[in-house]
Structure 1
């Protein structure tokens, strides 16, 4: 069922419920008011007949005739008067006695002074009437034809109005829901035109409107923009990876083809094997970098974080770097003002070690002395970890692109690399809610990682 139909039916159902409660309450209020009003009329008629009987000189037979004449055109009230001894004194029509008063009923009237009840469709009232110091029991009974006709008419009108209003409400609901959801239908039509090859398309938004649908369109456009950037980055990534993998693979194939096509000396075969091994190691290093990049690209919610000590990770990183590169030199200086608890953060040890390894390797690689100095200090509630090397000066233009994937400056192309390390490092640092900055001048190149305490 479509949302439009569901909203229309729900709106109609709620309206029907409220309208039904209102109509029922009006009907029963009118019914109760009619009942009370007619009892009051019966009481007035009983008093009037009793006054007429006791206080006027009108003969009883003429009163009977008056009752019969009125009864032809009106629902005349039938009145009966009984003495304290329960003897009948007067009755409008004893032959057609509606109430058929019993001694028990008369006793109840004298004891309670006033009673009222229903007798089939008739309403009956019994009351005590006083005249010349004596008490009499007066009963009055009649059928409220006009009252019941009014209730029947009210019920008929209510049912017709209820059905008519529901039909109008349903039609109005269809119109209003269609009008309200028209922008959503337009969005669906626009979304159907967006494919993997048309991610540049966007949903139409109105800057003036601040409703939920406009907000949905803006957020959807934001998602499309992120997807487009992701697709473009993926294409760029695959293109560069293909290029980086093609170079060592081509070298290995060429070397092995040459070795297989002509006879070579033992030394030449060994040299060919060494070249192939170097290219294979480069491919393995590139593969490891790509795996680390994939891990750093996970959803932060999927990466396990725990309490880690940054000084221990730094020690492990520079020990690993020196162990793999004998010519590299690394120094670690942690200022005395840095307290132990300031070195503890919530992080992923493996990813942080990858980031620090890249920064140390990068600093040693481009330093003439292959030296990286690591300084740790606290400044304005922020832990600063600086990786310093004196070597090639990085131009301002290169500094603006240094964290882009596969970007390599002209100065760095003399050394082996793939342009992944710094891009990967920045992603890892950002995953840990930290920032990384780089400065380069004629004195030194400094990469600074800042963790908020």
Structure 2
């Protein structure tokens, strides 16, 4: 069932419930108080009848005359006077509760459809008497029936009206959502640049449209990154394969020249190693794109991990100078422990420290760590060649290398791999660099992952 139909149906049901409760409320109190005036008129006649018939007063004849002359006679009005304890047949049988109330001295009331009774106990000359007056009230009863008919008709008309209004209201409220659906359906892989119109305001529809736009931004970036990645990867893989193929042909032509064959084989070996490194890096990039659920996560002491990274980098760059600054360590050692994939985290930080050592020409590389209740940060600072300002925005793109790194061997995969791994741990990387001065890369990781 569509949302508009659900909203309309729910609106109609709620309206029906509210209207029925209101109608019941009106009917109940109308039924209770509609005949109050008629009962009072009967009670007045009970008192007058008792005064005229039960008391000895010289004015009784005058009272009776005035009653007959000026007091309206009610439809089917009858008077019944009986001694207490005497059972006198009335026009119909009244319930025992009616007489019980009379015996208590109170005015008793009873109604059968539009026929009303009022009675009371009177005492005269040490004798007890019961005076009962009955009459019909066709006009009040008819008004009550008319009210009942009006309430029933009004109920059904109100429900129908609420259904129509609910349908119009739901269509009006869901129109922005339908527009969003139509706009989203028009967006395909070939036109990911399209965006939804976001209205001014902070309502749910505006937030939904903005959320879709943010998702489209991420999708467009992912598609562009994928296209660039495939293009760069194919280029990087084709180059060593072309060189290997050429060297094999050269070695086959110079089969009798051992020196040229040795050079060709050495070149083939270098390019094969390069190809292996590229494939390993590509595999690392692919693995770092996992959601992490199938990878082992554990509690990792980040300060201890930095010592392991220092030893690992020193094996690859034995002349490197790495200094680990622990002056900003927190008093609470638990703030240094993160839940992470240790192998991937070690790989990410190792790439950053290794790059700092490689591009600093054996100058000092400083690694500092600090942590608070929300964030753990690791800063790697070198005094190397730095990064040109025009290249900083591209250094996290796969296979991209800064324009001043031609004298250094590399493939442009280390930093993109590190960024993927840090993002996997819900962290971020900040970079600050000046060409010829040095570079500082800061890794920010949440302490609660």
Normalised by the size of structure 2, how large is the TM-score?
Answer: 0.80
Give the length in aligned residue pairs: 432
User: For residues 266-415 of structure 1, what are the structure 2 equivalents within 5 Å?
Assistant: 272-299=264-291, 306-323=298-315, 325=316, 328-335=318-325, 337=327, 339=329, 341=333, 344-346=336-338, 347-368=340-361, 371=362, 373-377=364-368, 385-388=379-382, 390=384, 392=385, 394-415=387-408
Q: In the TM superposition, what whole-angstrom CA distance separates every residue of 1:235-269 from its partner, at most 9, and x where no partner exists?
A: 11111111111112222333345556774566666
CA RMSD of aligned residues (A): 3.9
Partners of 1:269 and 1:447 in 2: how far apart? Answer: 45
CA contact (8 A) 1:311 1:343 kept: no
In the superposition, relative to structure 1, how do residues 111 and 334 fare at CA in structure 2: closer, same or farther (>3 Å)? closer
In the superposition, relative to structure 1, how do residues 247 and 45 fare at CA in structure 2: closer, same or farther (>3 Å)? same
Partners of 1:200 and 1:87 in 2: how far apart? Answer: 98
In the superposition, relative to structure 1, how do residues 98 and 260 fare at CA in structure 2: closer, same or farther (>3 Å)? farther
User: For residues 226-265 of structure 1, what are the structure 2 equivalents within 5 Å?
Assistant: 226-257=218-249, 259=251, 263=255
In the superposition, relative to structure 1, how do residues 182 and 366 fare at CA in structure 2: closer, same or farther (>3 Å)? closer
1:218 corresponds to which of 195, 210, 218: 210
* Aligned residue in 2 for 1:42: 42
CA contact (8 A) 1:359 1:447 kept: no
* Aligned residue in 2 for 1:91: none
SS of the residue 2:401 aligns to: coil
Partners of 1:198 and 1:112 in 2: how far apart? Answer: 92
In the superposition, relative to structure 1, how do residues 441 and 23 fare at CA in structure 2: closer, same or farther (>3 Å)? closer
- 1:116 has 2:109 as partner: yes
CA contact (8 A) 1:329 1:372 kept: no
Partners of 2:177 and 2:237 in 1: how far apart? Answer: 47
CA contact (8 A) 1:310 1:343 kept: no
Deviates more, 1:123-132 or 1:215-224: 123-132
1:196 corresponds to which of 189, 206, 228: 189
Q: Any gaps of 5 or more consecutive residues in structure 1?
A: 89-93
Q: Any gaps of 5 or more consecutive residues in structure 2?
A: none
Q: In the TM superposition, what whole-angstrom CA distance separates every residue of 1:400-438 from its partner, at most 9, and x where no partner exists?
A: 543443221233123332212123334445646464434
CA contact (8 A) 1:328 1:364 kept: no
Q: In the TM superposition, what whole-angstrom CA distance separates every residue of 1:100-156 from its partner, at most 9, and x where no partner exists?
A: 689998787445554334568643333113456653211223343223211111111
2:433 corresponds to which of 395, 420, 439: 439
Partners of 1:161 and 1:355 in 2: how far apart? Answer: 73
CA contact (8 A) 1:389 1:445 kept: yes
Partners of 1:214 and 1:355 in 2: how far apart? Answer: 38
* Aligned residue in 2 for 1:2: 2
Deviates more, 1:375-384 or 1:132-141: 375-384
Partners of 1:419 and 1:105 in 2: how far apart? Answer: 103
- 1:145 has 2:141 as partner: no
- 1:33 has 2:33 as partner: yes
SS of the residue 2:6 aligns to: helix
Q: In the TM superposition, what whole-angstrom CA distance separates every residue of 1:350-403 from its partner, at most 9, and x where no partner exists?
A: 2232123323432444455xx36343446897865435355x454343345434
SS of the residue 1:329 aligns to: coil
